[in-house]
Amino acid sequence: MRDTPANIIVGVKWVPNTTVVNVDPVTGTLIREGVPSIINPHDLNAVELALRLREKYGGTITAMAMSPPAAKSGLEFLIGMGVDRGVLVTDRAFAAADTFATSYVLAKAIEKLFPVDVIIFGQETIDSSTSHIGAQVASWLDLPYIYYVTEAEILERARRVRVKRSLEKQTDVYELPMPCILVSLMKSNTPRAVRMSNKLRAKLEKPIEVWTNETLRLDSTRTGLRGSPTLVSRSIPTPSVPRKKRRFDGREDPAGAARWLLDNLTKEGIV
Amino acid sequence: MSEPVQQAPSWGPIRREECRGILVFAECLGGTVSEESLQLLTPAKMIAEKLQNEITVALFGHQISQLAREPFSYGADRVVLVDDPKLVTYCPNVYGSALVQLVRREKPELLLIAGTLRGREMAPYVANVLETGITADCTGFDVDETTKDVLQIRPPFGATMLAYIRTPKHRPQMATVRPNVFQLPLRDESRKGKVVAEKGIDIPQPSIEFVSSEEVMKDQVAIEKAQVVVSGGKGIGSRDGFGMVEQLASEFRGVVAGSRKAVDAGWLGHERQVGQTGKTIKPTLYVALGISGSAQHIFGIREARVVVAVNVDPNAPIFESADYGIVGDYRAIVPAIIDEVKRSKPRA
């Protein structure tokens, strides 16, 4: 019997799917035009963790993204993966935000879905890699949180979640009262494959809800660039470290290549 | 029906004019001050010199007074001890609220936190409660000449770019710092400073409960501490192929690591991944076998002294970031190198 159905929210981000992205040389912000995007891969592990919880305890999963309108297709993909509901939070007033202003909008949007039991985020995004959002949303909503979660179980009577989390050299077990925020470890809970037919059905049966600032009614000084305490003053291509770049073609002469390498490593004082 | 506009909470209570000095939060959970935290003294000293500021190191834990003098040897001017039994086990919001209170009392211009797993879990919470900005995983710092703001330098977009980030209005400025990008300052045991036991902090009862902890990796040299790292990528082709990577590593008395693709393929654990989503390492010798050399990977080996690359593809980008590149199949090259090392050993 499932007597602890959980209302789960998974926060996801729509990100450029290539690492070769361009930055506006004047504003120093990301130029999204012309770059194909995907749901942040590390967020799929978070969705998978949510799906496993729902399989065990029942309940519903809402995926939420604060992203440009094109993210709709990403949320449809997640519905194809098994998520029940997709909410796209999108408004020009939310654009160009740093993590502080982004987390504020997300927290306010999540609040509209309360009561909620568990909120899950991916560890970080491939475009900005900050790992900030989970902890920042926890601060706005004043909820307990824990990062690097690999497994979660709901302790039925106590309304608590018991999680395993993985730090470099140790595995820790923590218990959090619900509602709480879990940030899933980057490579845990390998996301399931999605059938194309599911994706198509999802599009027809569960349209994505779009929430703008008409819905949230947030003070515009708290969102977007204006609500961001940090600003990118400039961006430059990462300078390369000077290297000797010496080369030996060893395809015909592996032994010669090895001798050449060892001679050089000896000169470097390494062997 | 329209809902009322939500009231925005007021901006952080710490005013820019009130702030002075640099505060470094140091982890000391294992009975020592963590090396990653002490590395922060290197950028802190550089910034302190430019701003004519002093450096305070905050140590959190219980019965840690014996560690109090350690930060002075690395350049701290002042140490603040926050000693409480509730800090024996780590919970992010407990450590976080204690740090928030300390910052409200100390009012530093800049707060630095090591970008360890725990640091990156706690720091954004602290920043938000203080209603200030934070920059993640910084790899460099500078001071803006005009505004005297700290420029926080970090590599977004898969490490292809370096962004210079400023926090113009809010204080403190906050950053987590990528481990192993900065060297430890030279140790100087003659340096002294003032130790302050901070008693005015109300450590909250943890809302989350620490249940247990289990060590999962013993007796393994962490790749970020190794002098020689031999690393395999997609070109290794299989988990079995890593046998040869291991042989070469053991011949050089080094450790085995891998690229993201090798880790994603399940050939080795994430704790051995080199690169932006893995680790920054600083070995004397780095050997890249079958690794193409993406920007994210190269980012993790910037601090390596000598880089060797073996790749079948003469156009692989790794050769642009290597000191010694060998074009060839690792299956032929690695055994030849092992033979050559064995032959040269008796002479050594």
pLDDT category of residue A195 using cuts at 50, 70 and 90: confident
pLDDT at B332: 97
Same domain for B130 and B60? yes
Q: Decide if pLDDT at A11 tops 60.
A: yes
Pick the residue from chain A with its C-alpha nearest to B216: A170
pLDDT category of residue A159 using cuts at 50, 70 and 90: confident
pLDDT at A149: 98
| CATH number for the domain harbouring residue B185 | 3.40.50.620
pLDDT at B6: 40
pTM (2 d.p.)? 0.91
Which range among A85-89, A109-113, B25-29 shows the weakest confidence by mean pLDDT? Answer: B25-29
pLDDT category of residue A24 using cuts at 50, 70 and 90: low
Is residue A211 within 8 angstroms of chain B, CB to CB?
Answer: no
Q: Is residue B207 part of a domain?
A: no
pLDDT category of residue A201 using cuts at 50, 70 and 90: confident
- Full pLDDT tens readout for chain B, 348 residues: 334 344 334 445 688 888 999 999 999 988 899 999 999 999 999 999 999 999 999 999 999 999 999 999 999 999 999 999 999 889 999 999 999 999 999 999 999 999 999 999 999 999 999 999 999 999 999 999 999 999 999 988 778 889 999 999 999 999 999 999 999 999 999 999 999 999 999 998 888 999 999 988 765 678 999 999 999 999 999 999 999 999 999 999 999 999 999 999 999 988 899 999 899 999 999 999 999 999 899 999 999 999 999 999 999 999 999 999 999 999 999 999 999 999 887 654
pLDDT at A29: 59
Report the alpha-carbon angle B11-B9-B117, nearest 5.
Answer: 70
Percent of chain A predicted with pLDDT > 90: 76
Which range among A15-29, A76-90, B21-35, B330-344 shows the weakest confidence by mean pLDDT? Answer: A15-29
Rounded to an integer, what distance in angstroms lies between the CA atom of residue A183 and that of residue A135? 9
Residues pairing with B26 in the sheet: B59
Is residue B153 within 8 angstroms of chain A, CB to CB?
Answer: no
A187, B264: Cβ pair inside 8 Å?
yes
Mean pLDDT of chain A: 91
Same domain for B92 and B24? yes
Domain enclosing residue B260, as ranges: 223-344
B124, A132: Cβ pair inside 8 Å?
yes
Same domain for B74 and B175? yes
Same domain for B164 and B20? yes
Q: Decide if pLDDT at A122 tops 80.
A: yes
Residue B95, class by beta-carbon neighbours within 10 Å (0-12 exposed, 13-18 middle, 19+ buried)? buried
Q: Is residue B3 part of a domain?
A: no
Q: Is residue B152 part of a domain?
A: yes
How many helical (H) and strand (E) elements, i.e. helices and strands, does chain A have? 7, 15
**What is the total count of domains within chain B?**
2
Domain boundary among B197, B214, B247: B197
A23, B157: Cβ pair inside 8 Å?
yes
Pick the residue from chain B with its C-alpha nearest to A28: B163
pLDDT at B13: 60
pLDDT at B17: 86
Q: Is residue B273 part of a domain?
A: yes
Same domain for B63 and B116? yes
- Region A231-253: what's the mean pLDDT? 92
Query: By three-state DSSP, how is residue A236 classified?
Result: strand
Is residue A220 within 8 angstroms of chain B, CB to CB?
Answer: no
pLDDT category of residue A153 using cuts at 50, 70 and 90: very high
Same domain for B262 and B184? no
Same domain for B51 and B182? yes
Rounded to an integer, what distance in angstroms lies between the CA atom of residue A2 and that of residue A148? 27
Q: Is residue B1 part of a domain?
A: no
**What DSSP string runs through B181-250?**
SSPPPPP-TT---EEEE-----PPPPSSEEEEEEE---S---GGG-SEEEEE-GGG-STTTHHHHHHHHH
| CATH number for the domain harbouring residue B293 | 3.40.50.1220
pLDDT at A2: 45
Same domain for B70 and B145? yes
Buried-state track B336-348, b at ≥16 Cβ within 10 A, e below 16? bbbbbbeeeeeee
Same domain for B236 and B129? no
- Region A152-176: what's the mean pLDDT? 91
pLDDT at B208: 92
A261, B6: Cβ pair inside 8 Å?
no
pLDDT at B154: 94
Same domain for B229 and B150? no
Same domain for B164 and B67? yes
- Region A85-98: what's the mean pLDDT? 96
Q: Is residue B216 part of a domain?
A: no
Same domain for B29 and B170? yes
Pick the residue from chain B with its C-alpha nearest to A217: B5
Q: Is residue B100 part of a domain?
A: yes
Q: Is residue B212 part of a domain?
A: no
